[in-house]
Structure 1
Amino acid sequence: MIANQLTKKDSKLSMAHMWVAFISLLIGGLMGLLQTLVRTGRFTLPFGIDYYQILTVHGVILALVLTTFFIIGFQFSLMSKTVGMSDKERVWAWIAFWVMLVGTIAAATMILLGKASVLYTFYAPLAAHPIFYFGLTLVIVGTWIACFVNFHQLYKWKKANKGEKSPLLAFMVVINMIIWFISTIGVAATVLIQFIPWSLGIVDEINILVSRTLFWYFGHPLVYFWLLPAYMAWYGIIPKIIGGKIFSDGLARLAFILFLLFSIPVGFHHQLLEPGIDPFWKYIQVVLTFAVAIPSLLTAFSMFATFETAGRAKGFNTLFGWFKALPWKDVRFFAPMVGMIAFIPAGAGGLVNASNQLNLVVHNTIWVTGHFHLTLATTVILTFFGISYWLVPVLTGRKLDEKTNRLGIIQTIVWAIGMFFMSGSMHIAGLLGAPRRSAFSEYNGSEQVTEWIGYQYGQAIGGSILFIGIIIMMYTFIYMTFFAPKGVEEFPIAETAEDAEPTPMIFENWRLWIGIAVVLIAFAYTIPFIDIIQNSPPGSPTFKGLIGNS
């Protein structure tokens, strides 16, 4: 049942989030370009700027700010379209936006002043200015407000439509926000209980293993918080764009429920080489990590089934003839499709990272960064770009014209080429042992740098091409917002195929699925966490020399 229309108030709310996201893209992209140039050894940052300062800006503003604002803005539009938004809910949504924005500005200011060069993981004993941690806290609190706005929207709809199946996209949004809310409890706990008192000098020490464990309790589900909105577009938007229908509503819901169950209790696979965690519990979480591949494989099956049925419905009945029927010249399909294709090697790399044995080869090398750029910076970001080509015109009352479509196709190709050089060079350099996070200045003149340097130039070439892609995207965003022809653009929400199997109503049993998720988390973390607290050393003292650049 899709009867709601986006009001101007709804559009203004989502568009505010888009502005923050795209400004973040420009700033973060520039920082990424500078990093790749520095690593060639032939470029020096001006004005005394520190490499780790721009590395922190790049990670925080792209991996956290851009993604969070785009996702929440996109999800608000989905919820408004499918279940509606009341005036009271809209007020709280704006409160969420401003709390997040104030927190973002506070944290970013400390990074730019050189008082928080701690990377986006902010591992202790690196210490930042207290305002950085307060800023992070505000961002998290803002997202929690957004969570409860979305929860209330679906609750209100179900109360008014008792016994009915909830709209698929609204169901997906709520699943994603449940994952976010549960997982951010970990990072909120370490920031509020450990980092803020430590940075204020109230306590002299911090338990590093506890802080890292709480961070990675959040850090891996963060990946799925990024990925699931892309899946929302793949499942619920793309079928409409290609002239087809959703292959299976039930399969889509099952995939999202599996992400809820398996995405949170897996943080230990980021800590495989850390002492103080019993190997048995690492093994358990590695098994759960591999289980997350199941909903991704379900998604791949569902999407290609959708593509094939749509193509065959148009008369393309040969084995792969349906592939020709796909609208390759429509950027709304082309950009997400390139992202889907990139997810194949990205997923394979993820299996390497999650494996105890194979991870030993690539741990803490720039291979991991290359994997990150395939998953988030290619699969997710290209899908977000594909969403923006129709969403921004919808929000601004304009049309997706031929110029926008052409610019989008060019931008997607430029992005794919840039990421081929960037991520490919990172993966190869990582296999040769090149470390992640490093400017390599400490290795100058060594044999290692001689071996890595060619791939560093490859990263610089890729980074330069990607920045061109960012400039094209920013121009297109401005054009879509202010200069594209005025008109009514379609909000493309797909319908389920008539012959699809009925969706089991057990998928609507929120108490059941949230309960199972909590049980899995308790099983995976309770005993090892008690063991960590009882047996790990208290931590490391605060060192002034580790605070920012001081």
Structure 2
Amino acid sequence: MSHTNSLTKVDRRDAKLAMAHIYVAFIALLLGGLAGLLQVFVRSGQFTLPAGIGYYQVLTVHGVLLGLILTTFFIYGFQIASVSRTSGTFTDGQRKLGWIGFWLMTIGTAAAATMVLLNKATVLYTFYAPLQAHWIFYLGLTLVVVGSWVGGAGQILRYAQWRKEHKGSGQHSPLLSFMVVVNNLMWFAATLGVAASVLFQLLPWSLGLIERVDVALSRTLFWYFGHALVYFWLLPAYMVWYTIIPKVIGGKIFSDSLARLSFMLFLIFSIPVGIHHQLTEPGIDGTWKFIQVVLTFAVIVPSLMTAFSMFAMFELRGRELGGKGLFGWFKKLPWKDTRFFVPFIGMVAFIPGGAGGIVNASYQMNQLIHNTIWVTGHFHLTIATAVVLTYFGAAFWLIPHLTGRTLTKSLNSLSNFSGILWAVGMTIMSSAMHIAGLIGAPRRSDYSEYGGAQQAYDWIPYQIAQAVGGTILFIAILVIIYIVVQLAWFAPKGEEEFPVGDVHEHSGPTPAMLENFKVWLVILAALILFAYTVPIIDIISNSPAGSKGYQLW
């Protein structure tokens, strides 16, 4: 039998912890969004940054604050609330872990951000060597990662406690809590790569303890983490799609087994795929690149499972409400409810986003778009639209639920307006990036170094379109910040629902295998060892300085 939780409201103490994370996330959204606006202005060629601020400085601020800080803090805020709502209130010890994690992450963020603002860490979001940052930047990022481990441990312990309390009851663990645990385990496994790179290479190097670093090794360790990071962003959006949206539209979760299986597939296929970001790099044998490309394509399977599950659930509900014909059910969905409408825009954006991802991961097609602004356009469709709009759609009911306020009719309409603004801005900006990328416009460049080259003139219309789209997006960010402030402090007091769907009665039984984490973690470890052992041994043994050394070039 499936578990339906009796707790309808998140405990006030857990709510406070969740909201602390969410506040930091939205501060990061505002500052990171402003940096993004400055970027597209500079690229349009019509604007120069004031006060000696460098283009790559604002690029680093934008990437780090939105790609790492907004996402990690919002995800943890959402996950803390989700576990508390479905597995029960945290114990004092578990909550203390959450607070320790929060403060470690916040102090680390402040340290890293300070160095970037002082222009001592203009190393972009990927912080590749041989670009070097101040050691405080690397230490700050380490604290963010360690803080996330501590906070994530608290969430996993609460889930483990639920399973212990319900041993032998025949109940499946709460689906939403199960998904949180899968995401955390994937994050723990993935961040080992970036932690190893920072602690053993970049931090000692920036402190002057070692003279040089192995660039190929540091990049490989970064991408061991970097692609799983994408799924760490994506899985909380999938949590909303699988478990929250069914309840919002008045339907049921299509299949408990399918939801759990898709998450377990993401767990095992998320990490041994990082080399597909390094297809043009020397030092990695083509065979291993090809193997990781094949593993990357395996991730398409749980994504297609999710798409099927979503639209099956939409159709079942639409027909229940009287939808006739092939697409009559579509009109019956609650289009005016922002809790559904804003994440739905995200779902739609994920279709072209996913198609672009197939291009990026393809061994041959990647040659055309590698290191062009096409790649930037791609992740603005996936993370910055599909994922982030789902987060916003969740925040619009989660924040009032946690603060004891209500999502009013006028704020609901304004939220829908912000989603439409976002979709319009991103369509203009991302389309311009994709097209400019196809005609060779480089990624991570302000184009000034191209001077009067004919090529640069060809890019100008697309750069101006990016500035137009970016401006619309920044207006959307201001509207969203206004809504968040209203929901946190000024909306009428009341009870806002934390919607969690029940599983459809015809969903069928869930195999116990899908909750056996030991088996899946062994498969994950085996896949990682298979995909990475030989490439990393090759890199170390072929470095000019030999296995002991650190080479720079």
**TM-score bucket of the superposed structures, by smaller chain:** over 0.9
Cα separation, 1, equivalents of 2:267 and 2:95 = 26
Q: Give the length in aligned residue pairs.
A: 542
Task: Judge conservation of contact 2:215–2:552 (CA < 8 Å) in 1.
Answer: no
Matched, 1:439 2:442: no
- Aligned 1:472-487 pairs, distance under 5 A: 472-487=479-494
- How far is the alpha carbon of 1:489 from its aligned partner? 0.6
Indicate which of 514, 521, 525 corresponds to 1:507: 514
Look up the SS of the partner of 2:394 in the other structure.
Answer: helix
Matched, 1:8 2:12: yes
Q: In structure 2, what residue type is equivalent to 1:386? A: G
Indicate which of 103, 111, 115 corresponds to 1:106: 111
Indicate which of 148, 158, 161 corresponds to 2:163: 158
Matched, 1:266 2:300: no
Cα separation, 2, equivalents of 1:537 and 1:331 = 57
Look up the SS of the partner of 1:206 in the other structure.
Answer: coil
Matched, 1:253 2:280: no
Task: Judge conservation of contact 1:125–1:540 (CA < 8 Å) in 2.
Answer: no
- Aligned 1:111-260 pairs, distance under 5 A: 111-163=116-168, 164-260=171-267
Cα separation, 2, equivalents of 1:342 and 1:100 = 30
Indicate which of 49, 52, 66 corresponds to 1:48: 52
Q: Name which of structure 1's ranges 157-166 and 323-332 shifts more when overlaid on structure 2.
A: 157-166
Matched, 1:23 2:30: no
Matched, 1:69 2:90: no
Residues 309-333 of structure 1 deviation map (CA, whole Å, 9 limit, x = unaligned): 1111112132211101111111100
Look up the SS of the partner of 1:34 in the other structure.
Answer: helix
Cα separation, 2, equivalents of 1:447 and 1:540 = 38
Matched, 1:32 2:39: no
RMSD: 0.9
Cα separation, 2, equivalents of 1:173 and 1:317 = 37
Cα separation, 1, equivalents of 2:284 and 2:154 = 37
Residues 20-62 of structure 1 deviation map (CA, whole Å, 9 limit, x = unaligned): 0001000000000000000111100000000000000000000
Residues 351-387 of structure 1 deviation map (CA, whole Å, 9 limit, x = unaligned): 0000010000000000000001000110001000100
Task: Judge conservation of contact 1:312–1:322 (CA < 8 Å) in 2.
Answer: yes
Structure 1: which 5+ residue stretches go unaligned? 543-550
Q: In structure 2, what residue type is equivalent to 1:488? A: E
Q: Hey, what does 2:99 align to over in structure 1?
A: 94
- Aligned 1:277-296 pairs, distance under 5 A: 277-296=284-303
- How far is the alpha carbon of 1:536 from its aligned partner? 2.6
Residues 205-252 of structure 1 deviation map (CA, whole Å, 9 limit, x = unaligned): 100000000000000000000000000000000000001000000000
Q: Hey, what does 2:523 align to over in structure 1?
A: 516
Task: Judge conservation of contact 1:207–1:537 (CA < 8 Å) in 2.
Answer: no
- How far is the alpha carbon of 1:297 from its aligned partner? 0.1
Look up the SS of the partner of 1:237 in the other structure.
Answer: helix
Look up the SS of the partner of 1:205 in the other structure.
Answer: coil
Superposed structure 1 runs of 4+ greater than 4 Å apart: 538-542
Cα separation, 2, equivalents of 1:317 and 1:409 = 27
Matched, 1:364 2:371: yes
Give TM-score scaled by structure 2 length.
0.97
Cα separation, 1, equivalents of 2:427 and 2:321 = 34
Task: Judge conservation of contact 1:352–1:358 (CA < 8 Å) in 2.
Answer: yes
Q: Hey, what does 1:548 align to over in structure 2?
A: none
Cα separation, 1, equivalents of 2:420 and 2:475 = 11
Q: Hey, what does 1:333 align to over in structure 2?
A: 340
Cα separation, 2, equivalents of 1:79 and 1:147 = 11
- How far is the alpha carbon of 1:403 from its aligned partner? 1.2
Q: In structure 2, what residue type is equivalent to 1:518? A: A
Q: Hey, what does 1:546 align to over in structure 2?
A: none
Task: Judge conservation of contact 2:342–2:392 (CA < 8 Å) in 1.
Answer: yes
Q: Name which of structure 1's ranges 180-189 and 153-162 shifts more when overlaid on structure 2.
A: 153-162
- How far is the alpha carbon of 1:117 from its aligned partner? 0.2
Cα separation, 2, equivalents of 1:529 and 1:214 = 9
- How far is the alpha carbon of 1:482 from its aligned partner? 1.3
Q: In structure 2, what residue type is equivalent to 1:80? A: S
- Aligned 1:307-386 pairs, distance under 5 A: 307-386=314-393
Q: In structure 2, what residue type is equivalent to 1:433? A: G
Look up the SS of the partner of 1:209 in the other structure.
Answer: helix
- How far is the alpha carbon of 1:444 from its aligned partner? 2.0
Identity between Structure 1 and Structure 2 (%): 61
Matched, 1:78 2:82: yes
Task: Judge conservation of contact 2:269–2:298 (CA < 8 Å) in 1.
Answer: yes
Q: In structure 1, what residue type is equivalent to 2:37? A: L
Give TM-score scaled by structure 1 length.
0.98
Residues 448-505 of structure 1 deviation map (CA, whole Å, 9 limit, x = unaligned): 1100000000000000000000010011111111111110011100000111111111
Residues 279-311 of structure 1 deviation map (CA, whole Å, 9 limit, x = unaligned): 111110000000000000000000000001111
Cα separation, 1, equivalents of 2:109 and 2:235 = 23
